[in-house]
Structure 1
Amino acid sequence: MHAMQYELTLPADYDMGIIRGRVARVGHLLDDWAGLGIKAYLLRQRGVDGSPVNQYAPFYLWNTVEGMNSFLWGGAFQGLSDDFGRPSVRQWTGVAYEEGGAVGSPARVAVRRRQRVPDGVRLGEMVEDAVRETGRLAGEDGAVLAAVAVDTSRWELVHFSLWDHDTPKADGDVFRVLHLSAPGREGLPRGRQW
């Protein structure tokens, strides 16, 4: 499993209806994308759910590198780059994935938390803690799914979860889910990824 996200931070007075309209028009295009586990079309609006910014920030869990590369180099990503400029694309290697009791329910909210891996910690212990946290999140009421992945170039974990209600039991940046493409969700490997 591979995680990926890019963020488009928009002006404070930006009409976020433009992003909602864009997702309504094109969101379905990844509903059957080969190699994609899930794509959550995410939006943060300044002043809502504690967000200091307006931001469009899709989050992906990929089953295959080929699917991810096809998206990035095959033209789909080019449309976004043409319209908004080419954003930096963050990538993380999958550590754990779990489905929650609300899997299959419409996801309303996503929570993303980045966590630095401090110098001097035992890497295996830190990652095992992250795996346990993923299982705990997935076990909470209303959890659709939970995942954790690591960027070893920055030594950073990213915790990601989807919820079927507006009061998630997770800490981090809260996003509204505008659309969820999940063609390969069932193929995402469950549990620890090693």
Structure 2
Amino acid sequence: MHAMQYEITLPADYDMDVIRRRVATKGHLLDDFPGLGLKAYLIRERADGSPVNQYAPFYLWTAPEGMNAFLWGPGFQGIVQDFGRPDVQHWTGLSYEEGPAAAAAPRTMTRRRVRTDGSEKPADAVGRALEEHRSQAGAEGVVAAALAVDPRHWELLHVTFWAGDAPRPAGGEVYRVLHLSAPERHRLPRGRQW
């Protein structure tokens, strides 16, 4: 599993209905994309208390071939044409779990990025993160949760999809889910991925 996200920060007075219309008309185009576990079309808005207006799609890929086909194909080129080329963040998957509300459509997603302590063994940091991840995935209202790592920066990524309004994570962000494409969600490996 590979996690991927790019963030397009928009002007403070940007009409976010432009993004809503874009997702309403184009979101379905990835509903059957090979190799895509899920794509959440996400926004944050100043009107909701976010410090920025942002369009920030998040992806879980079942294999790198799907991610590569998207990045080098027409899907991502549409983003580049309309908004310029954003930095694409990516993480190696550590764990994925379905939550108690797995059958529901997610309304919100929380994201928390944590740099590991340089003096700690990487396996210890990942072990603690896995325990936290399993606990979070079992919380009421959770649709699904993923844990991933960027070993270049030793950054852990905690992502949780919620059926309703998400609790604000300490040191994290809350996004609205406008649409979820999940053609191969059933193929995302469950649990620890090594």
Structure 1: gaps spanning 5 or more residues: none
Tell me, yes or no, if the aligned pair for 1:109 and 1:168 is still in contact at 8 Å. Answer: no
Aligned CA distance change for structure 1 residues 169 and 137 (closer, same or farther; 3 Å): farther
Tell me, yes or no, if the aligned pair for 2:147 and 2:156 is still in contact at 8 Å. Answer: yes
2-side partners of 1:144 and 1:169: how far apart? Answer: 16
1-side partners of 2:155 and 2:166: how far apart? Answer: 26
Is 1:39 the counterpart of 2:39? The answer is: yes
Tell me, yes or no, if the aligned pair for 2:110 and 2:166 is still in contact at 8 Å. Answer: no
Tell me, yes or no, if the aligned pair for 1:47 and 1:53 is still in contact at 8 Å. Answer: no
1:123 is aligned to: 122
2-side partners of 1:169 and 1:186: how far apart? Answer: 28
Is 1:193 the counterpart of 2:193? The answer is: yes
2-side partners of 1:124 and 1:192: how far apart? Answer: 13
Letter of the 2:189 counterpart = P
Aligned CA distance change for structure 1 residues 140 and 34 (closer, same or farther; 3 Å): same
Is 1:51 the counterpart of 2:45? The answer is: no
2:5 is aligned to: 5
Root-mean-square deviation over aligned CA pairs: 1.0
Structure 2: gaps spanning 5 or more residues: none
2:15 is aligned to: 15
Question: What secondary structure does 1:179 align onto?
Answer: strand
Question: What secondary structure does 2:139 align onto?
Answer: coil
1:82 is aligned to: 81
Paired residues, number: 193
- TM-score, normalization by structure 1: 0.97
1-side partners of 2:140 and 2:169: how far apart? Answer: 11
- Structure 1 stretches of 4+ with a deviation exceeding 4 A read none
1:184 is aligned to: 184
Tell me, yes or no, if the aligned pair for 1:137 and 1:170 is still in contact at 8 Å. Answer: no
1:93 positional shift:
0.2
Aligned CA distance change for structure 1 residues 170 and 103 (closer, same or farther; 3 Å): farther
